[in-house]
Amino acid sequence: MTLSTSLIWFFVGVAFLIAELTLPGFILIFFTAGCWIVAIIVWQLDIDLTNQIVIFIVSSLILLFTLRKYSMRVFKGQTRDIIDDKYADSKIGKTATVTKKIFPTVPGEIKVMGSFWRAIADEEIEEGQPALIESQESEDGLTFKVKLVKEEK
C-alpha cells in the first residue's frame, strides 16, 4: 500500500504542527499551512514534485510574512500579571529592614514581608536600619526606592 502524495504533504504538515507546539517562535505553523495548501492542490491536480515544493515555499513564506506579526499580537497575551502588580503595590508604604548597605549610586537589599528585594535610595542607609518603601523602580518589580526612616526622640 502506498500513501498518496497529498497524504504525505498532510502528514508533513502534522509534523510541523507538532514541532510548533514544542518549540517557541510561532513560525512553523505557517509551514504547516503551506504543507496543507500543497496537500489540497495535489489532491485536486496532478503536479510534479518541483512545482509542489515551489508552491510549499511560496505559500509558507507569504503566510509567514503577512500573518506572523498580526498573529503574535492576537495570541501573545499579557506579559505582566495583574496579581504580581498588586502584590508589588502592597509593599509601597511599608517599613523594611536594610539587609545590605544602600549607597546613592549602588543598590542594596531590603527585607519586607518575609522576602528580600533590591533597593535604591538617594541617601546612604546602613545595614539594619529601617527604611520606608516609596515606589517600585524597575519594570521587573524587583527593585524598590526607599528612604531612611527617621527615628523620633
CATH code at 85-148: 2.40.50.140
**Residue 75 backbone class (left: φ over 0; alpha: ψ -120 to 50; beta: rest):** alpha
What rounded mean pLDDT belongs to the chain? Answer: 85
Least confident of 19-23, 58-62, 79-83, 86-90: 79-83
Q: In terms of residues, how long is the chain? A: 153
97-118 pLDDT, tens digit each: 999 999 988 899 999 888 889 9
C-alpha 7/C-alpha 14 separation (Å) is 10
Confidence of residue 16 (pLDDT cuts 50, 70, 90): very high
- Please choose, from the candidates 151, 148, 116, 147, the residue with its C-alpha nearest in 3D space to the C-alpha of residue 134: 147
Cite the residue boundaries of each domain of the chain with CATH code 2.40.50.140: 85-148
Alpha-carbon distance of 55 to 58, in angstroms, equals 5
pLDDT score of 34: 96
Each residue of 31-51: b (16+ CB within 10 Å) or e? Answer: bbbbbbbbbebbeeeeeeeee
